[in-house]
Amino acid sequence: MMDHGWLEPVLATLGLAVITVVTRAFFMIPERELPLPDWLKRGLKYAPLAALTAVIAPEIFMTQGALIQTLQDARWPAVLCATGYYFWRRGILGTIVVGMAVYLPLHIGLGW
C-alpha cells in the first residue's frame, strides 16, 4: 500500500497559492480600469492607515489580552518619543529608531 499522507498538504499549499495569486492580481487582470464609485475611491485612501492602526493599537494599549494597568510600561515612553520625533522631522526611519532607542533600554535594562 502506498502512503499518500503527503498529498493533502501539497494540494492545500497549491490551492492557497492559487487563491493568493488570484486575489492579489484581481485588480491587474482587467485591461481597463474598473469603475469604482467616488465614495469607495475616497474610502480606499484610508485603508492602509486603518490597517496599520488595527495592528499597532493593540500592541500599545494591551498586554496578554488585557488593557495595560500601569504607566510603567516601556511602550508608552517609546510611543510618545517616536510620535514627537515624527511630528518634528516627518521621517519614518527616524521614528522607528527613536522608538526602539527608548523602548529597548527601558524594557531590557529596567525590566519594564
pLDDT at 30 over 60: yes
Three cell numbers written together for 26: 484581481
Measured CA to CA, the distance from residue 106 to residue 99 in angstroms comes to 11
The CA angle 66-77-71, to the nearest 5 degrees, is 45
Q: Cell 487582470 maps to which residue? A: 29
Could you list the residue range(s) of the whole structural domain that residue 89 is in?
70-111
Measured CA to CA, the distance from residue 26 to residue 37 in angstroms comes to 18
In a domain, 28, yes or no: no
In a domain, 102, yes or no: yes
In a domain, 1, yes or no: no
Span 39-85, pLDDT tens digits: 998 998 998 889 989 998 998 899 888 998 888 899 999 999 999 99
Q: Cell 498538504 maps to which residue? A: 9
In a domain, 19, yes or no: no
In a domain, 82, yes or no: yes
Q: Strand pairing of 66-67 and 62-63? A: antiparallel
Measured CA to CA, the distance from residue 109 to residue 112 in angstroms comes to 8
In a domain, 4, yes or no: no
In a domain, 92, yes or no: yes
In a domain, 27, yes or no: no
Three cell numbers written together for 104: 529597548
Count: domains in the chain: 1
